[in-house]
Amino acid sequence: MMLMEHEEGRGLVRLMLAAIALMETKNEVAKEILVDKAKAYVRLLKEHIQKEDEILFKIADDVIPADEQKALLRSFEEHEAKEIGEGVHEKYLKLVEELEEHHR
């Protein structure tokens, strides 16, 4: 189920990109499509993240020993620093907070 949601999310992203391309051609319906697909994507992400937080991560906590969890965390941090760059994660969290504040 979780993997199907990943595929659904990728499909929604493709539809949003297509809508953006259509907007560049002044297609009147494209903006409505983009907004509709973006709202669907947000709903999907919220539900998916809730499942991860409430089910998947709890299962992982039960089956992965603490020392392995610490090693995984170090690996994730190293990967983020190497592949994504320092401060990028925080930059996007701040952007999300600003967008949320703007839309309240």
Does one domain contain both 24 and 75? Answer: no
Does one domain contain both 85 and 40? Answer: no
Does one domain contain both 10 and 56? Answer: yes
Does one domain contain both 25 and 13? Answer: yes
- Burial pattern 37-72, b for ≥16 Cβ within 10 A else e, equals beebbeebeeebeeeeeeeeeeeeeeeeeeeeeeee
pLDDT band at residue 99 using 50, 70 and 90 as cut-offs: confident
44: domain range? 1-63
Does one domain contain both 11 and 28? Answer: yes
pLDDT digits (tens, 9 = 90+) for 37-69: 999 999 999 999 999 999 999 999 999 999 999
Q: Whole-prediction pTM value? A: 0.70
pLDDT digits (tens, 9 = 90+) for 16-41: 999 999 998 888 899 999 999 999 99
What is the total count of domains within the chain? Answer: 2
Does one domain contain both 54 and 101? Answer: no
